[in-house]
Every structure is written in C-alpha cells, then in structure tokens.
Homo-oligomer: A and B are copies of this chain.
C-alpha cells in the first residue's frame, strides 16, 4: 500500500479556486488512479476494521464516491445524505452554518433502523459543519455512530477536532495546513 505522503502527492492543488486566495484540493487525480483509489478506500476503512458497520452514510456529492466504495468494502449498506430537495421520499433535515448564512442536508426518515451502526464518509472536513449535521441526522433517525472518516482534513479550520471534542472517533488520511 502506498504511504500517506504518496497519496497526498496524488491530490491536485488548484490555486485561486473557487475564488482568489483559496487553494482547492482536487481528489479526482487521486481517485482516477486505480492504486490511489484502492489505497484511499483501504485507509478510510482501516480505523474501523474491527468494528461492525451496518451502513455507511456518504455526503453529496464527492462523499458518494468514496462512501460507495467504503460501503462495498465493509459489506455494508449505503445511505446518501443530500442537499435539500434532492431525496424523493420523506426526509428529515439538519441545518448547519456557512461562512455567510446556512445550508441544510437531509436523509430519508427510514434510511436507518434503530441501533444500526453507522460510519460517516466524506471527501473533506473543513469547519465540520456539514459533518456534524450528518452525524446529528444519523442519531435522530436512531443510528449509533461508529465514527467518521475523511480523505482530507484542513486542520486550521478545526473540524476534525470539533468532532473529537464531541466524543466521536474521527480520522482523515491527509492534512493540508494554511487554509
């Protein structure tokens, strides 16, 4: 398996995207590489290898890619957490704060059965707002959170620490400082 530094070099950095002063971390270059994709999935799963996981919740849209593969690796079901208005059946919503204003994500009310053990997967954790909202949704529908796993952490924004401070097991594969 490649080490985390090799994995990190496969992530493309795009300066001034989506706006001046922001460096966007583009994981498509990592995921399109067969070895990179396989190792990413193995490393996302590793901290939870000895845990029973019934379902993986992936956050729209990039969290669907890694989340789908992690669910497959763990032989678990997959549950999408989507932006408002995208799920076709009965939903519950959780708002979270953005830099300016709020946003919300939703899951179907019947997506998880009481006591099922759930792993949250997303491509990136920044402030942790959407991750906290997703974890809250999982608990509101009766799930038991096993933990949360991310490809990229932006530690200066404090999201991973925020989840840990709330008692969750939370991990990321690589960190980019200075955001």
Interface residues in chain A, defined as those with a beta carbon under 8 Å from any beta carbon in chain B? 12, 14, 17-18, 24, 26, 28-29, 31-34, 36-38, 41, 54-55, 58, 60-62, 64-69, 71-73, 75-80, 82, 86-89, 108, 110-112
Complex: A87 Cα to B12 Cα, angstroms: 12
Given A26-B88, A28-B80, A89-B28: A72 and B41 within 8 A (CB)? yes
Q: Are B88 and A31 in contact (CB under 8 A)?
A: no
Complex: A78 Cα to B41 Cα, angstroms: 12
Which residues of the other chain, B, contact A80 by a CB distance below 8 angstroms? 28, 31, 61-62, 65
Write the nearest CB–CB distance from A45 to chain B, whole angstroms.
Answer: 11
Q: How many copies does the complex hold?
A: 2
Complex: A119 Cα to B31 Cα, angstroms: 15
Q: Are A68 and B64 in contact (CB under 8 A)?
A: yes
Which residues of the other chain, B, contact A41 by a CB distance below 8 angstroms? 72
Write the nearest CB–CB distance from A27 to chain B, whole angstroms.
Answer: 10
Contact of A65 among B12, B26, B33, B78 (CB under 8 A): B78
Q: Are B72 and A14 in contact (CB under 8 A)?
A: no
**A–B complex contacts, Cβ < 8 Å, 24 sampled:** A18-B88, A28-B79, A28-B87, A28-B108, A31-B78, A32-B77, A32-B79, A34-B54, A34-B75, A36-B77, A38-B75, A41-B72, A58-B65, A60-B61, A61-B61, A61-B80, A64-B65, A67-B68, A68-B68, A68-B69, A68-B72, A69-B69, A69-B71, A72-B72
Given A32-B55, A67-B65: A12 and B78 within 8 A (CB)? no
